[in-house]
Structure 1
């Protein structure tokens, strides 16, 4: 049997997936997430904050123990938006390599989106027939990826420099944000979407992957505790997204923290993530289908091949 692991280090969280391939197929052994806010202040300073690096390295220490305990043979560590932007990323690379024995790869947004597209579509296809063309959306902390295609091989799209952390830090300074701040953020988001080249009228299916989409679905489902099985494949309508976005933008962070499924490290930025999803929803003719399968699944599939 072959055991492999994928680590996805984004602007807001670092995630791990360990899987095993054997005679019976691929089996998931461990999947976990730690919110580290690696992108803290990167949009403003162009550098990783020392506290953000310390949090990320602590998470890597935890993951190193998991990899050793499970006897993982191959690891791929990818870093996305924040690492693409930070001037002191060498310190990040060195710290990760010291702890995990693997050098981080800073992958372009295009590859990030294609991996997410492949993971989401493969999982959805396994559940049943999926109408094409498909749009896969990944709203991260620093960027948003949008890919459209009939399948992973033909999918094309963009990586936009807007994410929940970036929008919150750049525009939504108040708690809760003011109407003026929301209007400014909305105009910025709309400008990027309008210039993206995406034909939002085309998709017959819209998938959302990543922490923003899954967090919003858990709120709509009114889950008392996060349930991955219920979130995966959940459908969220445009009306539900619009209403939830307005609510989250009107609440202070202290109120958002009272949501049972809300991770503390996501509470202050989920309003910005919801605003991005809302502006995309208002352009699409189909509801959002949330997928728990994403870039990690795509990375693992590649390692096992």
Structure 2
């Protein structure tokens, strides 16, 4: 019997950095270690220069150094690190990219939005019905991915250049949210969705999955308000949450109303708006939560050749 192997995936997102270490016995994957640090990289990118602020740079490098310490038991060939939306914006900061790879001790591959979407779909679909047609949504800090596929194969993908961090910075940074704030944000989201909607015309799906911290936060908020009881997000209940965003006098009060961590509430409204507008644009009625996403997709890609080799004997 083949000895279990360790695999690690590092996902350097626009809002948080994640590290997952998993063990493969040739048949199953088992989680060994998970780390997450709130870095808010997208909020630290200067739109004019494409460079990071000193504070964001220091947060990122400190996190990557911590991650490096957790990788010493994983074979180098079984480690993959990717940068997503915020890294795509860092075209003018080559120095930071070098510093990041040095701090992590690994090369960092910068994914296109569509490649990011394909890995997300692959991760969400891992271990699920191979025949089901699936709609998958992931709301990140700097981009939003929409994917439809069958089994583990994505077919139609779209990556929107907006996320909960970037939308918050542009429209929802005031302590008290107003209808005007929300309307401006919604108009931007609707415009972006409309630009890719034609790709999905005539495409069918049986299942709808959401895979991101923003979507999980909405599910938790709905549960805390007593609007849902099984974690599944329903459109009618989702719409009922909308007026709560402007009823709160401050972000702190909103955090208390929804019983959510203050750090999550800072970008909650933007994530909620993206989710709600996607529900309406694609006529979704409900969405289940996936606890698998891009990191599991990255590991699945590394493990697959080993499984194929094992199957061949």
Query: What count of residue pairs does the alignment treat as equivalent?
Result: 292
Q: Distance in 2 between matches of 1:23 and 1:253?
A: 47
TM-superposed deviation, 1:247: 2.0
Structure 1 residues 249 and 135, CA gap change in structure 2 (3 angstroms): farther
8 Å contact kept, 1:48–1:88: no
1:204 — aligned with what? 206
Aligned to 2:114, what secondary structure does the other structure show? helix
TM-score, with structure 2 as normaliser: 0.85
Match of 1:244 among 209, 216, 241: 241
Aligned to 1:190, what secondary structure does the other structure show? helix
8 Å contact kept, 2:147–2:154: no
Max Rg structure: 2
Match of 1:216 among 213, 218, 221: 218
2:279 — aligned with what? 281
The answer to which of 79-88 and 110-119 deviates more is: 79-88
Match of 1:52 among 39, 52, 56: 56
Q: Distance in 2 between matches of 1:194 and 1:299?
A: 29
Structure 1 residues 261 and 44, CA gap change in structure 2 (3 angstroms): farther
1:31 — aligned with what? 34
Structure 1 residues 142 and 262, CA gap change in structure 2 (3 angstroms): same
8 Å contact kept, 1:41–1:169: no
Structure 2 residue runs of 5 or longer lacking an equivalent are 305-313
Aligned to 1:19, what secondary structure does the other structure show? strand
Aligned to 1:16, what secondary structure does the other structure show? strand
1:176 — aligned with what? 176
Q: Distance in 2 between matches of 1:100 and 1:173?
A: 32
1:303 — aligned with what? 302
Q: Distance in 1 between matches of 2:157 and 2:51?
A: 28
Aligned to 2:169, what secondary structure does the other structure show? helix
Q: Distance in 2 between matches of 1:26 and 1:52?
A: 34
The answer to which of 77-86 and 250-259 deviates more is: 250-259
Q: Distance in 2 between matches of 1:130 and 1:218?
A: 30
- Cα-Cα RMSD: 2.4
Aligned to 2:209, what secondary structure does the other structure show? strand
Structure 1 residues 24 and 187, CA gap change in structure 2 (3 angstroms): closer
Note the alpha carbon deviations across 1:116-149, whole angstroms, 9 max, x for none: 1111122443xxx8742x2111111111111112
Aligned to 1:40, what secondary structure does the other structure show? helix
8 Å contact kept, 2:136–2:211: yes
The answer to whether structure 1 residue 122 and structure 2 residue 126 are counterparts is yes
TM-superposed deviation, 1:41: 4.3
Structure 1 residues 149 and 18, CA gap change in structure 2 (3 angstroms): same
Note the alpha carbon deviations across 1:16-57, whole angstroms, 9 max, x for none: 110111256321101121111011143644322221111111
Structure 1 residue runs of 5 or longer lacking an equivalent are 224-230
